[in-house]
Structure 1
Amino acid sequence: MHLKNQSSSSRDEVDLVGGYYDARDNVKFGLPMAFTSTLLAWSVIEFSDSMKNNNRLENAKDLYSDPSYSTKLLKTAMEVFDFADRYKGSYSDSLGSVACPFYCSYSGYHDELLWGASWLHRASEDDSYLAYIQSNGHTLGADEDDYSFSWDDKRAGTKILLSKGFFEDNIQQLQLYKAHSDNYICSLIPGSPNFQAQYTPGGLFYKGSESNLQYVTTSSFLLLAYAKYLRSHGGVASCGTSTITSDKLVALAKKQVDYILGNNPAKMSYMVGFGPRYPQHVHHRGSSLPSLHVHPAHISCGDGFQYLYSNSPNPNILVGAIVGGPDNRDHFADDRNNYQQSEPATYINAPFVGSLAFFSDETTGI
């Protein structure tokens, strides 16, 4: 596919072949894809030591290991952040007709500015971004504690990331974010004085009826990242008058990971292709339509609906994809038309990479 920009003076052709589609359709939405890329990179940053026993780490390095290209990316990211800060607003205010209702910026743009400044501070070591965080954090959601983390709402993840600066770099200005991170962690821990989260009878973290596993994979990643920071510095999470150890965080994350992989009331693995029982009717165009090898003739958009409504299992197994998952009673409908449960997405999978890397390492003691 080539995109042609026609102007009075020039015409540029941009090759759009390759890359990821965010979910079931052949569309590349920017906001969830940026989140996907960031969580994949964060997984490598935190858990690369657990990826050395196979070629996964080398594959990841192929994306970032060219120094001149990395420098260009950082410079461009700084320019984009400066533009976003100068001309504040949600991207879907202008692109609502194509981004909504799928990927509107429901939480607004404040969390993205704080998220961007936090990553730029780590990547550039430029203290101007730390000053930005200190000056603007209160108005960008830093004081608002919430127990969800997603492509749309970055607040919880930003606080965990900023707490790393306090733990590892001893940046005292970021101590506040250790306290906020504790609040987030404590909200997830059953029995904690600050407990707010909801869990299914089978023990799955439950946040929303559509693609709930996105919240499970993101919260599991943050639990493990924070557990790593605590372990490395002999710390605990403070929950009122109680304290929560890193082992408690790891145990909760493990329960969520095990549930996704089949240790649940339905004995269903929600990762396609993993285990003896997994979803057969995944809501995904490439998986549900026949391949060119089997059906070389053109299939029009209208003709494709027969495969959507078919009762037959998907002909192409989407190995490794994690679907939306069960409802709040641990019930799962293996039905393509129930996209809320059967649709996979890159932003569900991306945080799971770090969690699997963590648990694949025998040194974790799990």
Structure 2
Amino acid sequence: MEDNKQEGVFKKHSKFLHRCFVLLSIFSLFPSSCLSFDYGEALSKSLLYFESQRSGRLPHNQRVSWRHHSGLTDGLEQGVDLVGGYYDAGDNVKFGLPMAFTVTMLSWSVLEYGEQIAGAGEYLHALEAIKWGTDYFIKAHTHPNVLWAQVGNGDTDHYCWQRPEDMTTSRQAYKVDANNPGSDIAGETAAAMAAASMVFRKTNPHYSHLLIHHAQQLFEFGDKYRGKYDESIKVSKGYYSSVSGYMDELLWAALWLYKATDKEEYLNYVLENAHSFGGITWAMTEFSWDVKYVGVQIIASMLLMEKKHEKHKHVLEQYRSKAEHFLCACLNMNNATNVQRTPGGLLYTRQWNNMQYVSTAAFLLTLYSDYLRTSNQELNCHNGVLGPQEIFSFAKSQVDYILGSNPKALSYLVGYGSNYPYRVHHRGASIESYKRNQGFIGCTQGYDNWYGRHDPNPNTLVGALVGGPDNKDRFKDERSNYIQTEACTYNVAPVVGVFAKLHGLKGTDLSDNPNLLTSS
């Protein structure tokens, strides 16, 4: 009897020790920190950033005062109104694929964490950020089988260093249509409009219905006339090449349309094309403006919670297997394929603009931890079992790294704290404001007088998430170091939701949660 009792105690302690080992494997690569962060402030600033990226005629309630109207003749040469939308990064081109992904992720953030965003007083700003994009997509979708996918030329744009208010570079617009297909950009734009339609369903039902109408047409167009958009629009190559192809975007669009309409035809599309389109065969370690597979897999996984999807369990569980491969890779819990980390603990996917992969991973980890908590489940990885709190704590560590809990004690969110990048690679921010100096600054004049200055940018690009450090946590705050100091809209959109979630937990001590070690 005594032996059985000792054996039970041993098993209990073994389980506890194993749990400790699992946690150490997750957290040992980043330093513990006593820093506390104001996630509400980070949320507010991240949403403000989108106003810095606006193209078109700025509204009366524009808060970023150093920006002014720009791109007011976009589409004029082609006889179409393409005024509006977003510049993607530090240049003055409107690239449709990353713009649409930005809007999808902003919408997803609001759908999942809208209550927390509202609690922080930022709900209207979040909706404004989404609508600035969707208003443009409505304009760009001029016919059922026509989508204007880009305005401006990356090559000519990069020859000049000009404020968007002054730009003299080509504003030629490029489209995809039945003869020049672009299933990837049609699919992503459909996903963005379907997701946004859910956001506006209660506050603006007419607009919501309009977005669904466009989303359904775009999906049908993308599916019927299949092809990669960068084969039809060659000038996009080298900037936003569609490396993953278009099958992930078609699955992605179909899932968002299913969520928005509850029509079985869209779910059936995702189930029937699961294998042939790679949804249940591709195990990925990144989620980005180009590679949507993990997003598809995560959403499909969460459908398993609903009883009505019981009959699709076999296929949905295959989607879940691939989704959990990604999550376990981020958590360093796979046998072989894990996402690399810097010595300071930051997820590291690749050199150029690595923060985009950190922000998408943080969002998906946060979202999935909520899903596991709600469904009373755990994450089973090759090297151990993790509870929701452990997953969320790691996601939080990535956000805290962004905000300053890192070897350089630097906030990679511009304008947050006192130590952040002051020389962001951004044309408008690095040149004296148009509001202050309305004199024309020419193409090379910007390079001659502003680009090479060592001084901080005259305008702070508040809320921008820059590309971030290298694989050794090193970072150079230099305007010419665009690999690290350029910020993009799709870096920021995913962390909006995570900031909101963390702000909503204000006052909760996550480091002292008893579930951290004892959840079984």
Alignment counterpart, residue 171 of structure 1, candidates 299, 309, 313: 309
The whole-number CA distance in structure 2 between the counterparts of 1:55 and 1:250 is: 24
Alignment counterpart, residue 121 of structure 2, candidates 37, 52, 55: 55
1:155 maps to which residue?
Answer: 293
1:122 maps to which residue?
Answer: 259
Indicate the larger mover: 139-148 or 199-208: 139-148
How far did 1:163 drift?
1.4
Q: 1:119 to 1:26 in 2, by over 3 A?
A: same
The whole-number CA distance in structure 1 between the counterparts of 2:75 and 2:435 is: 30
How far did 1:190 drift?
2.4
Is residue 163 of structure 2 the alignment partner of residue 92 of structure 1? no
Is residue 177 of structure 2 the alignment partner of residue 111 of structure 1? no
The whole-number CA distance in structure 1 between the counterparts of 2:75 and 2:334 is: 56
Is residue 464 of structure 2 the alignment partner of residue 326 of structure 1? no
1:14 maps to which residue?
Answer: 81
How far did 1:269 drift?
0.5
AA aligned opposite 1:16: V
1:123-272 alignment, distance < 5 Å: 123-142=260-279, 143-168=281-306, 170-172=308-310, 173=312, 174-193=316-335, 196-240=338-382, 242-272=384-414
SS at match of 1:243: strand
Contact 1:210/1:341 (8 A) holds in 2: yes
Q: 1:52 to 1:169 in 2, by over 3 A?
A: farther
The whole-number CA distance in structure 2 between the counterparts of 1:191 and 1:126 is: 37
AA aligned opposite 1:70: S
How far did 1:365 drift?
5.5
The whole-number CA distance in structure 2 between the counterparts of 1:342 and 1:271 is: 11
Contact 2:468/2:484 (8 A) holds in 1: yes
Structure 2: which 5+ runs fail to align? 1-71, 132-199, 511-520
How far did 1:15 drift?
5.4
The whole-number CA distance in structure 1 between the counterparts of 2:377 and 2:349 is: 28
Quick check: which has more Rg, 1 or 2?
Answer: 2
Contact 1:156/1:181 (8 A) holds in 2: yes
The whole-number CA distance in structure 1 between the counterparts of 2:496 and 2:114 is: 11
Deviations 1:40-70, CA, capped at 9 Å, x for gaps: 0000111112112233123334543321121
2:44 maps to which residue?
Answer: none
How far did 1:302 drift?
1.0
Indicate the larger mover: 296-305 or 175-184: 175-184
AA aligned opposite 1:162: A
AA aligned opposite 1:95: I
Contact 2:333/2:384 (8 A) holds in 1: no
How far did 1:176 drift?
2.6
Q: 1:241 to 1:254 in 2, by over 3 A?
A: closer
1:81 maps to which residue?
Answer: 219
Q: 1:4 to 1:342 in 2, by over 3 A?
A: closer
SS at match of 1:304: helix
1:298 maps to which residue?
Answer: 440
The whole-number CA distance in structure 2 between the counterparts of 1:217 and 1:209 is: 15
Deviations 1:208-240, CA, capped at 9 Å, x for gaps: 100000000000000001011111110111113
Contact 2:325/2:334 (8 A) holds in 1: no
Contact 2:301/2:323 (8 A) holds in 1: yes
Q: 1:317 to 1:60 in 2, by over 3 A?
A: closer
AA aligned opposite 2:204: D
Structure 1: which 5+ runs fail to align? none
Identity %: 41
Contact 1:188/1:195 (8 A) holds in 2: no
Q: 1:301 to 1:240 in 2, by over 3 A?
A: same
Give the alignment's TM-score, normalised by structure 1.
Answer: 0.94
Alignment counterpart, residue 342 of structure 1, candidates 485, 498, 506: 485
Q: 1:295 to 1:6 in 2, by over 3 A?
A: closer
Contact 1:194/1:240 (8 A) holds in 2: no
The whole-number CA distance in structure 1 between the counterparts of 2:307 and 2:468 is: 38
